[in-house]
Every structure is written in C-alpha cells, then in structure tokens.
C-alpha cells in the first residue's frame, strides 16, 4: 500500500522548484496557478531568497502548488492513484486535491486565503514556533504548558513543536526540557494555536462555497489521524485545524494500522520521510526532491500499489 505525503510550511528552500521547470508543461501549469493565487510561483520557487519564501502568504501557496505539480508529473503515465494520501498542516490542501476532494484551483484559492489570513493573524502579536527534539514526551509537554505555550505539532519520532509568543519562547529556551534540543523554526507565527482564530473565522466564511467531492482514496486528517470519507467534513476539519494542533504522530499510527508499505513525500521533500524513518520501521521511503527521483518513485508505485 502506497501513501503520498505532502509537507508543511518550513519545508521550502530557495530554488527548490528550479529542476521541475525542465519538465514540459510544468511551467505552464505554474503560470496558470500563479494567476489563481495572485503570486509569481515560478519566481518564488526559483530565484526568491529564504526571507521572501518565509512569508506565510507566499510559502503556503508555493508549497501546495509544488506538491500538486509534482504529483501530476508522477502519475502522468496513467498509473492508478495512491492508496492513501496525507498532508502536514498546509499540506492537507494538496492532499485534498490529490484525493479529489477539491480541484487544484479550489485548493489554491483556499490556500491563498489561508496564507493571507494566517499572515494577518500572525502580525497582531509577535509569535513563533520552536521544535523540541528528544527528551521525555511527558516532560516536554509539561514544560511547554509551564511556559504558557501550545504543542502545535506533535510529530512523533521524538519531535514536538512548541508555539506561542516570542517572549514565552525565549523563556522556554532559557529553561528547556531535560535532555531535549531546541530548534527555532523558519515560520512567521504561532500556527495551530489560538493566535490563528481570526484566520479560522475567515476560512469558515469562505469554505462553504468551495466545490467539494468525496475522496477517491483514503485521506488522513491531522486532528486525529482519522481516515475521513466525507469531503465536506474533511474541508471543515481542515479549516478548524488552522488553530488546532497537528497530530502527525496519530497520522503515522493510522498509516501503520492501514498497512502502508511505502511512502513518497512530494517536494519540497525530506521532512516527513525523516519522521517516518524513525517511526515506521520497515516502510519503504522516498523523498521526491527532484525529477531525478521520478523513476525510483514510479518503480515504488508499481511495487507497492494495492
């Protein structure tokens, strides 16, 4: 059983889209999606620097467009779609489009508004996110709570992300949990916390008008790792998730329970396969970083599609 995974914000790196533009049709597709999002996705994915693509309103549409473009290339030979799909945070919008719940254009409209609304919410208070690597999970969660922060991402494999005001994150850094390492993340706000409630309100007004269909494959959701069979329910969950913690650990538990035997992470790939490598022993993994990885990915699909 093969699962496609779409990464979340923070996975982007300068120039990561450049090699994909050499594939016929990709530049045209991105030009069309640039019109949908109101962003020059080709420029942002090729020549923009790290600070430009750190901007939430830019990073989120760029990530979703990159994942969708790579998925279209991966399956252009008429292969059957994946057995399951999951996205981390904003990657859920790419997952929804791959599963057929949303059209690519609908997903990009929603991510455009999501990115803008979350950027506006982040500008109200100076906030951020810090990855906590290692340590005892209970002690880590207790320390996060002690400092008035939120465990915004519970990623499994010994990684929890704390989020909140920069002042509280600074105090947290001065008194880290025992045996844990802290790594500030390159994001512009405390996503998946109460600070994002204004963005949730924006999306709740917009989402009911989006065209939605039933998923055509198993579609995992970040709240609890559940396989959601109703498209409208998935979109509602996706909206609420903006201010609620991402439980990627639960998603990986579901992957194990479903019997997933291979995972392909869409570009900009590496983060989610890294987590799976430590958590899902025996599952074959591929980070689809450049077109050079396509042949290996297609071989994996042929070997593992149920």
Residue 232 structure tokens: 């409208």
Which secondary-structure segment (H or E) carries 130? strand 127-134
For this structure, is 6 an active site residue?
A: no
Is residue 153 within 8 Å of 161, Cβ to Cβ?
yes
Is residue 92 within 8 Å of 266, Cβ to Cβ?
no
Handedness of CA 82, 206, 38, 62 (dihedral sign): negative
Residue 163, Cβ density class (10 Å: 0-12 exposed, 13-18 middle, ≥19 buried): buried
Dist CA 60 CA 131 (whole Å): 19
- Residue 263 φ/ψ, nearest 5 degrees: -130, 130
Dist CA 104 CA 113 (whole Å): 14
Catalytic residue, chosen from 88, 143, 147, 192, is 192
Is residue 188 within 8 Å of 55, Cβ to Cβ?
yes
* Residue in the block written with tokens 């900009």: 268
Dist CA 144 CA 162 (whole Å): 6
Residue 29 structure tokens: 């597709």
Catalytic residue, chosen from 6, 34, 88, 89, is 89
Residue 6 structure tokens: 């779409």
HEC profile of 45-100? HHCCCHHHHHCHHHHHHHHHHHHHHHHHHHCCCCCCCCCEEEECCCHHHHHHHHCC
Of 62, 71, 74, 56, the C-alpha closest to 14 is 62
For this structure, is 143 an active site residue?
A: no
Just list the catalytic residues: 89, 192
């Amino acid at each position: 059983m093969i699962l496609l995974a779409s990464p979340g914000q923070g996975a982007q790196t300068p120039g990561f889209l450049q090699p994909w533009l050499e594939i016929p049709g990709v530049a045209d597709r991105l030009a069309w999606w640039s019109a949908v999002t109101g962003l020059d996705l080709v420029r942002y994915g090729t020549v923009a620097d790290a600070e430009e693509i750190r901007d939430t309103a830019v990073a989120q549409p760029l990530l979703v467009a990159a994942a969708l473009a790579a998925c279209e290339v991966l399956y252009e030979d008429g292969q059957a779609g994946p057995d399951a799909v999951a996205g981390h945070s904003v990657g859920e919008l790419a997952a929804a489009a791959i599963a057929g719940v949303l059209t690519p254009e609908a997903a990009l409209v929603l991510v455009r508004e999501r990115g803008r609304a979350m950027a506006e919410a982040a500008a109200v208070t100076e906030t951020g996110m810090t990855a906590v690597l290692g340590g005892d999970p209970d002690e880590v969660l207790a320390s996060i709570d002690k400092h008035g922060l939120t465990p915004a991402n519970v990623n499994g494999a010994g990684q929890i992300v704390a989020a909140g005001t920069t002042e509280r994150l600074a105090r947290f850094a001065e008194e880290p949990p025992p045996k844990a390492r802290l790594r500030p993340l390159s994001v512009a706000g405390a996503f998946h916390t109460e600070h994002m409630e204004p963005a949730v309100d924006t999306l709740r007004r917009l989402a009911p008008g989006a065209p939605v269909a039933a998923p055509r494959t198993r579609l995992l959701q970040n709240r609890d790792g559940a396989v959601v069979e109703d498209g409208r329910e998935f979109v509602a969950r996706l909206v609420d998730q903006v201010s609620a913690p991402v439980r990627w650990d639960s998603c990986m538990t579901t992957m194990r329970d479903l019997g997933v035997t291979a995972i392909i992470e869409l570009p900009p790939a590496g983060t989610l396969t890294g987590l799976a490598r430590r958590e899902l022993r025996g599952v074959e993994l591929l980070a689809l970083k450049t077109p050079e990885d396509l042949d290996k990915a297609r071989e994996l699909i042929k070997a593992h599609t149920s």
